[in-house]
Amino acid sequence: MQEFIKEVEKKEIGKIVQDVSLSKYTTYKVGGIAPVIIYPKNKGKLVSLLKLIRKYDLKYKILGNGSNLLFSDQTYDGVLIKLDCFDTMTFVRNKVICGAGVSLMKVAKEAVKRGLCGLEFASGIPGTIGGAIYMNAGAYNSDMGYIVQSVTVVTDDLRIITLTNKEMDFHYRTSFLQSHENYICLEAVLKLAKGDKKELDAIVKERRARRMESQPLEYPSAGSVFRNPDGMYAGKLIEDIGLKGKRKGGAEVSLKHANFIVNKNRASAKDIHDLILYVQDKVYEHYGIKLKIEQEFVNWEKETCQKSSKRKK
């Protein structure tokens, strides 16, 4: 790893941060140590970084705002890349061209300020543009798939190309990028529409009040844990079998909203992980419905291997 870092420094790829706790980079406020996080300066530097990662045969992951991830408590044995320098946001009439590292909430706020509608659903989603496109983030019966015109990506063979909305294959909480994990979102063009600024302000204000009332924003979490099954609400399924307030260690099924698991009292990543799986199992036992986990588990391979080993013994 140190030889790799020396080459990154030599090529002046961008800022390097070493040996940091992932609890500082995730909204759950948990996770093990990251040996290195690198902030490439631009697209060219990112491609150079990816070439070096391949040269040294290292695993890597793009890390946005850490709002939909659950890292394990183990050390992450690889390179984390943050695209914070990809933070441009340019409005051209009813379109906005934004870098993958820009805050989704920031873009939504600016759009409303300009009287452009289409992004009101995103005013409370704490992710980056890149993460939102990857997950096809959404709320209030809308999502990124409705407004993305095109996405510029790095491909698995390190070419920079642009994909259309159709090619992005957006569906409920999924996109083309999830089935092509070596593709990286660099930039997106969002197509909005003219709206009434006062009406948009009122919608955002009303939804903010609703979130404050119904979501446990006072504790670290990563938003909704499970996707809603067709015609149902995951939170209601969980609540109706009495799991609100259920705890494992410092993790708790929120008393405000059963589809949120919160870091109530210095939870470990394992506390949260085990509680998520417990809820999933209990819902399946009761309803015969296997809830799909919306959050991504990262670096749990060792934990899984250890459990398998214990079962074999």
Q: Are residues 118 and 150 in the same domain?
A: yes
Q: Are residues 105 and 69 in the same domain?
A: no
Count of the separate structural domains present in the chain: 3
* 227 within some domain: yes
Out of 50, 81, 112, pick the residue that ends a domain. Answer: 81
Write down the catalytic residue from 120, 187, 252, 294. 294
pLDDT at 310: 45
Q: What is the DSSP string of 163-202?
A: EEHHHHT-BTTB-GGGG-TT-EEEEEEEE-EE--HHHHHH
Q: Are residues 71 and 99 in the same domain?
A: no
Q: Are residues 135 and 190 in the same domain?
A: yes
Write down the catalytic residue from 110, 142, 150, 173. 173
The structure tokens listed for 4 are 């790799």
Can 67 be counted among the known catalytic residues?
A: no
Whether residue 57 is predicted with pLDDT greater than 50 in this model: the reply is yes
Least confident window among 16-20, 24-28, 228-232: 228-232
* 202 within some domain: no
* 205 within some domain: no
With a CB cutoff of 8 Å and minimum separation 6, the contacts of 131 are: 64, 65, 67, 68, 104, 137
Question: From CA 79, how far away is CA 43, in angstroms rounded?
Answer: 17
Q: Are residues 114 and 156 in the same domain?
A: yes
Write down the catalytic residue from 23, 67, 175, 224. 224
Query: What CATH number is attached to the domain comprising 116?
Result: 3.30.465.10
Query: If pLDDT is split at 50, 70 and 90, which confidence band does 304 have?
Result: low
Closest to 223 measured CA to CA, from 104, 100, 69, 103: 69
| Domain of 184, in residue numbers | 89-195
Can 93 be counted among the known catalytic residues?
A: no
Query: If pLDDT is split at 50, 70 and 90, which confidence band does 305 have?
Result: very low
